[in-house]
Chains A and B, each alone.
Chain A
Amino acid sequence: MSPVLLPLGDEAATLRFGEAIDLALNARAHAFCAALESARPAGLREWAPAFSSVTLWYDPDALSFDELNALCLRLASTPNFSRAGVVHELPFCAEEEFAPDLFDVAARNGMTPRDWLDAFSKVNFDVYMLGFLPGFAYLGGLPNFLDAPRLATPRKIVPERSVAIADGMCAAYPFASPGGWRLVGRTPLQMFDAGAKTPTRLAPGDRVRWRPIALDEFLELEAQWRG
């Protein structure tokens, strides 16, 4: 399928490769971003990849929508993106106060919380995109037998560094925020550091496995960066 450029106002547009959470479509979006990175076309201000699309911000007085469209179609034919990112093993703690939805998520899948956590910690997740909050990485690959839908009523405040799942996805909230995903633990690691050379811990193409830890280790790891 050839990609379609859709207007998002008069200074941005979204190049859509498809409408699914799919590794092949996601690879096309990232390959296109890599092509933009080397081409650096005049009039283009910024771009951000999503699951199966890339949003571009441009100066419409320097680059018309039609010119942007032609440019996108030319660059979008570049095929390859290798998911040869970093493999992370991230600690998380499922203490009761960190995981208010764990019992329910496990029960929905006919499991005990312990069995659910065992299975969860064996899943290899792929980082599809960053969005929503600074450093919020959408991890895909949660199998159906561990899954649960988003909460009908989102929480007003999800505590920072909560590890959450919903609709086949997993994420750690880098900052406290409203949110509708189900909370199954908390990571002691800082997920976004504006002062660091690379502010985000995770990048598209990376892979993630979650390692369950006890509260002692959680507090120790948290103290390391909190000082």
Chain B
Amino acid sequence: MARLIVEHPGLGVSIQDSGRTGYRKLGVPVSGALDQRFRLAANLLAGAPEQAAVLEILLAAPVFRVEQGPLRLGLAGAISGVLFREGDEKKVESWRGLLLHEGDRLALKLLRAPGYIGFSGGLDASVRLGSRSTYARAGLGGALAVRDLLTCASAQGEDIAAPPLCAGEGPLRFIPGPQVDHFSPETFEAFTTARWTARPESDRMGLRLVGPRLACRKSANIVSDGVTPGAIQVPGDGQPIVLRADGQTSGGYAKIGCIISADLDRLAHVLPGEEVRFRAVDATEAARARAERRDGFEKWRQALVPIGFDEKKLWSENLIGGAIFGE
């Protein structure tokens, strides 16, 4: 086993895996990483199983010291950092595995949310209701604290790297329903043509938007029914809320639609003040989008290359376009 000590916990940092399924009937949200592709990438870079838990960083990245090594971290997302080793310091960029040894100190910086850190063999954390994902509201998991000890499997060998995964662009695609009939065709049109701005109160529960007021034909309140990440709720104030991984399991607001599964990861990348648009699609287009997402990730996986022990060599051969070691 290898161990890291948390010297600084960062902010908005939580342990997340592929999610907690099977307990929605008890009111337990699915949770899990907001961007599952990035989580998977962090695991592959670290040499961890696909389903393993990672650290998700939404506001500020943590600082670690390796108490017992060697171990490997996998950095995915816009993260940079400084590695302090035996009196030396070296700048570290993301989208690579990083073998760390006893005594190493790693100060990471989040350049843009979300960022993910994978751990060799997977980050060890207790399984609650079938998952290691944090859902703080119900005391499942919790925030990192100074002097916390993180454990994972030991690692060795060469680090690997790949070009950054794209967050995706264009309007977020959704399937209309289940209460799309609560909105007039004009309101629906307004929803799909407007530019919506993310509000600062957005969090892991939901992306809160501001834009033109969407009027409901009937009451905005419905008899509560099931909701899921991606569901676009329109409360009485006409300002939509798109649920994210920690979103509640049932809700009493009319839903104009629900984001397709291929675009759920993209919800994680809409930061406060940024704009999004929405486009209605059907089941056929959703199926095509799922296939494209799978193929896109498979291509990324095939682009993984060893970056060797000699980083100077990597520079001279310019194996990966300088995307890995910046400056």
Taking Cβ atoms with an 8 Å cutoff, the residues of A that contact B are 6-14, 16, 19-21, 33, 45-55, 57, 60-61, 64-65, 129-136, 138, 174-177, 192, 194-195, 199-200
Contacts and interface: CB of A to CB of B under 8 A. Distances in A.
A21 to B, nearest CB: 6
Interface stretch (B5-13, B162-170, B174-182, B310-318): B174-182
- B interface secondary structure, majority: mixed
A53 B227 CA distance: 12
Given A57-B24, A134-B29, 14 more contacts: A7-B177, A8-B231, A9-B231, A10-B261, A10-B287, A46-B22, A48-B249, A55-B250, A131-B224, A131-B250, A133-B137, A175-B137, A199-B28, A199-B129
B228 to A, nearest CB: 5
Nearest to A56: B226
Interface residues of B, number: 44
14 contacts: A7-B283, A9-B286, A10-B260, A12-B226, A12-B258, A14-B226, A45-B21, A54-B226, A129-B250, A131-B27, A131-B250, A132-B27, A133-B248, A134-B135
A138 B23 CA distance: 17
A116 to B, nearest CB: 25
Given A133-B27, A174-B138, A199-B129, A8 B255 contact: yes
A51 B223 contact: yes
Nearest to B128: A194
Contact of B28 (A16, A47, A50, A134): A134
B290 interface: yes
Contacts of A194: 128-129, 138-140
Contact of B175 (A10, A136, A175, A200): A10
A10 B290 contact: yes
B90 to A, nearest CB: 42
B228 A57 contact: yes
A6 B27 contact: no
Interface of B: 21-29, 128-129, 135, 137-140, 174-178, 222-228, 230-231, 248-251, 255, 257-261, 283, 286-287, 290
Contacts of A135: 26-27
Given A12-B228, A53-B225, A131-B249, A60 B283 contact: yes
A9 B138 contact: no
A20 B224 CA distance: 9
Nearest to A64: B283
B222 to A, nearest CB: 7
Most buried by B among A9, A49, A61, A195: A9
